[in-house]
């Protein structure tokens, strides 16, 4: 009798080879580490298929170009590396990252033009910003007192690791008994949270901030779904006051999809239950994972795959 394989901890690609994810590393002298001079992107695999892989590749390649970096592989090579990480890990539901660091210049120099950029990729078990069990009742949030880094300083459309404003806001949320935080920009308007975009629903109209935010792939998926359903959706500035007065508020991210917020700054939305528009969009989002236009199936190397340990959590995900 074949014994079940233990859960996979993931596979990485580094310096031209596939290795256990736990063995992946970068040099402590890499400017990606010492200066946070790095860009990255994350795509997820669900039920054995990448979701909107090509859109993630588009964004990552644009980010690499914006930071004047060069990858050691072309688009097809990058896709092959990501697929290789997933297939070798055996993970049917995975969090898959592609990372490009500045690298380091020759010893004794600091000339950025002399750095050899480094590519790292990995597939690990799926990561949730908010687990499905919490999504059923919704999560709590605060409006942080810490402003988001100005887009004139760090372009948020280039996915990056400049997270200290986000990290500080999370600790502020924890100290105030909330799950997460939403930051305002220097202009006082709503931007985003640590690893997620935000939406407000008022009188059946959906709105999401237009400035100071990552142009999330999940955010765009929500916008696409709204357009397909004839649901009014706007990408525009949202003030703190308007946001707090919304009928419904939700987050969107690769690490969890559409997730309701039911308490913010002490205000309880919808009597403490996720709103109808939010839950309809959440169901539609997961249903999109069955659409062949958005999926890229992974060919796995072996017939028996290690378990992800997501079975119980998946029971709380809409079947679509």
Domains in the chain, CATH or no CATH each: 11-127+295-314 (3.30.470.10), 132-274 (3.20.10.10)
pLDDT score at 135: 84
Q: What is the pTM of this model?
A: 0.92
**Model confidence band, residue 320 (pLDDT cutoffs 50, 70, 90):** low
User: Per-residue pLDDT averaged across 205-226, rounded?
Assistant: 98
Question: How does residue 308 score in pLDDT terms, banded at 50, 70 and 90?
Answer: low
pLDDT, tens digit (0-9, with 9 covering 90-100), for 162-214: 999 999 999 999 999 999 999 999 999 999 999 999 999 999 999 999 999 99
113-141 pLDDT tens trace: 999 999 999 999 999 988 888 888 899 99
Q: Are 126 and 90 in contact (CB under 8 A)?
A: no
The per-residue pLDDT of the chain, averaged, comes to 93
């Amino acid at each position: 009798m074949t014994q079940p394989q233990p859960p996979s901890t993931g596979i990485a690609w580094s310096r031209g080879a596939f290795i256990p994810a736990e063995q992946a590393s970068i040099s402590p002298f890499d400017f990606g580490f010492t200066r946070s001079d790095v860009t990255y992107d994350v795509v997820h695999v669900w039920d054995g298929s990448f979701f909107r892989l090509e859109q993630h590749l588009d964004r990552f390649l644009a980010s690499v170009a914006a930071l004047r970096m060069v990858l050691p592989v072309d688009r097809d090579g990058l896709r092959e590396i990501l697929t290789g990480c997933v297939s070798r890990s055996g993970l049917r539901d995975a969090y898959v990252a592609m990372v490009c660091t500045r690298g380091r210049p020759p010893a004794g120099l600091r000339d950025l033009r002399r750095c050899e950029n480094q590519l790292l990729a990995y597939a690990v078990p799926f990561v949730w910003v908010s687990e499905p069990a919490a999504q059923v009742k919704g999560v709590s949030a605060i409006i942080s007192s810490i402003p988001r880094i100005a887009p004139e300083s760090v372009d948020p459309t280039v996915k990056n690791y400049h997270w200290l404003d986000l990290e500080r806001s999370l600790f502020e949320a924890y100290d105030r008994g909330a799950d997460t935080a939403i930051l305002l920009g220097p202009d006082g308007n709503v931007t985003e949270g640590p690893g997620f975009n935000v939406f407000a629903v008022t009188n059946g109209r959906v709105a999401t901030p237009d400035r100071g935010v990552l142009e999330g792939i999940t955010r765009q998926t929500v916008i696409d779904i709204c357009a397909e359903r004839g649901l009014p959706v706007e990408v525009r500035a949202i003030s703190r006051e308007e946001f707090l007065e919304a009928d419904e508020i939700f987050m969107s991210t690769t690490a969890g999809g559409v997730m309701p917020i039911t308490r913010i700054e002490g205000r309880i939305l919808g009597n403490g239950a996720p709103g109808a528009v939010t839950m309809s969009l959440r169901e539609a989002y997961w249903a999109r994972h069955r659409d062949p236009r958005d999926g890229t199936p992974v060919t796995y190397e072996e017939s028996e795959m290690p378990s992800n340990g997501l079975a119980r959590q998946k029971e709380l995900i809409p079947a679509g």
